[in-house]
Every structure is written in structure tokens, then in C-alpha cells.
Copies of this chain bind each other. A is one copy, B any other.
Amino acid sequence: MAKKKISITDIAKDLNVSITTVSFILNKKAKGKISEEVIKKVEDYVKKVGYKPNQLAQGLRTGKSNIIVFMVEDISDAFFSSIARLMEEKSYQNGYKLIFCSTENDPDKTRDLIQMFKDRQVDGYIITPPDGFEKDIKSLADDGHPLVLFDRYFADLDVSHVVINNQESTFLSLKHMIEGGFRNIGFVTLESGQSQMVDRLEGYDRAVSLYGLSNYTLRINFKDFKTLKAYNIIEDFLDENPNLDGLFFATNYLAKSGLRVLKNRNITIPDQVGVMSFDDNEVFELYTPQISCLSQPIESIAEKLMEIMLKQLKNTNSNGHIIHSELPGNLVIRQSSFKN
């Protein structure tokens, strides 16, 4: 068993003061109430014995757990795990623990998880909500839980969120490809009503119609990635549209599936087909040729998320702090997106 830990009562006893006094000093509420010498005596002693308050007891008393939960689509995805790593550090710096989980875009699983976190009095929620999760998010917000959505959001809901400018970012990527000489660019996306996917599609539609080009869109169900069926769906798409000379993938895992297809078919990039993807990924830099992409500002996203979350955590009852943050994406031009 772990060594018995010292408690506030022990300190009070050892120093012949009341636990009230010790508690006030510990919580910096001693100014003007407790004499300087007692403050000093207690502080020195606390430092000497290395006392740390029991968070469970504090939590029980104050109703706070100091836990923030970070619910993403899939924690093993590079985009999400990179942000998780940054969030983890920022949480600890601010005295919070970060726990995380993967929703797999499954509303039922996500609902169960949220219920569990409520039961365990998690203080704050950072969520990439699945499709059709609007009501659940609304009730979480209505209950007054600190809450920030990211990567996607619900336009009808007055809930804080951090996203990037998906529409404009996709538009700029397509513009780059079109100006690079590609005329029949297919857009490979998810069968999803999530805002970020809708916005990306709109960016594509806008670019294609602005330049008077044909529209080729493929929507794949998220679940088909588990079964690798996505691979065959992309193959069929290529077969049905033999005149395609470019492909834009709306997420990094879509791009990876697509690259597998192109690779196995020995289709040369960019000569036969130009390629770009949303999200950067290690694979893209090491691929031959290197794949251009629209990269999300990981560091800024994490920073903004934590900033908004902390603001909510501090003033528990006011929900007058709804913040909608939209960050710009970065066009990363490598070799796959323009003709030589």
C-alpha cells in the first residue's frame, strides 16, 4: 500500500492551529484574516512535509473533479493525436487532468461515454460531435457543462467551437489545382452531414462552378473504412470516371486509401492524376511524389481550445462567453498538385 498521506488535520494538529486556518492559507484566502507569522509558519511547514491536498475530498466538497475530457473521432488518427498531445500539456499546466476517448463517429457510443463522464463529474467537455448529435450537445450545454466543440459544429446551436475555415481552405486548394492545369477533378469525401464536410464540399462546388468545370463527387460511409470497403469504392469511382485528371481527398485517411488505389494501379501522380488532401500527414511528405495538402494549424487549434475551455471553467454560471473561433488553413504545396 502507498504510504499514508498527511492531511490538513495533521498539519493543524502539529502546528496547534485550526484546520480552518490551514485551509484559508492553502487557498490564499488568508490575506487580512490570518497573521503574517501564522501564514509563514503554515506555509513553511506545508512545503517541508510536501503536503498536497486530496483532490477527491476537494472535489467532493466543491463539486469539481479537475478533469477535462477530450472526445475525438479516433485518437489513433495523426491529426487528433497531435492535438491531444498538445492539449495534454496545456491541461497539466493549468491544473487539470485530460482524459480522452474515441467516438468513432457513433452517436450511441458517444452518448454512453458522455453519460459516464457526467456520472464521474467531469468538469469540461471538448468534443468532435458525430453526425446527428445536435440534441445531445444542446442538452449538455443547457445543463451548464463547460463545453467546446471542435473540428465541426452545429450552426443552429449557440455553443463555443473552434474550427478552421473549411470552405475557403478547400476553395483555395482547388483553385491551386485548377490553375495548375487540372480540369476534371474528383472530390472524395465522407457521406456525412458534419459541418466540416459540408463546408469542404461547398468549397469544391464553388471552385468547380466558378471555373465552369464538371462536378465529380464521391461520398463514402465512415464505417466502410473499418472493413476496407472504401478501397473498392474508390476503385469503382475511378472506373466510372475515366476522364478524371485530379483528385481532392477531404480527409487524410481518405487520401491514404486513395493513394493505395493509385499506387496499386500504377497511376502516376501528377502526370495522370493530380492529388491533394485535406490535413497534412507524415505519409504525404514521404510519398513519391510528395503530396500537397491543406494543413490545419494544430498548435493554434489546441491553444484556442484550451483558452475557451478555461474561460468557461472559471465563470461557472455565465454562458455569456460563447466563442466561435474560425482559424485559417495553410496551403502546403508539394509535388502532386501541378503539372510540370
How distant is the Cα of A52 from the Cα of B145 in the complex, in angstroms? 18
How distant is the Cα of A54 from the Cα of B120 in the complex, in angstroms? 7
| Residue interface mask A152-186, B partner, CB < 8 A = 1 | 00000000000000000000000000000000000
How distant is the Cα of A271 from the Cα of B264 in the complex, in angstroms? 21
The one of B1, B56, B283 in contact with A56, judged by C-beta atoms closer than 8 angstroms, is B56
Binds B, one of A92-100, A224-232, A324-332: A92-100
Copies of this subunit:
2
Binds B, one of A80-88, A213-221, A237-245: A80-88
Q: Is the CB of A143 within 8 A of B2?
A: yes
How distant is the Cα of A116 from the Cα of B66 in the complex, in angstroms? 13
Q: Is the CB of A256 within 8 A of B286?
A: yes
A interface residue count range (under 10 / 10 to 19 / 20 to 34 / 35 or more) = 35 or more
The one of B52, B54, B102, B286 in contact with A60, judged by C-beta atoms closer than 8 angstroms, is B54
Chain B residues near A88 (CB-CB < 8 A):
75, 100-102
Interface, chain A (partner B; CB < 8 A)? 1-3, 52-57, 59-60, 65-67, 74-76, 78, 81-82, 84-85, 88-89, 92, 97-102, 113, 116, 118-121, 143-145, 256, 259-260, 263, 282-283, 285-288, 316-317
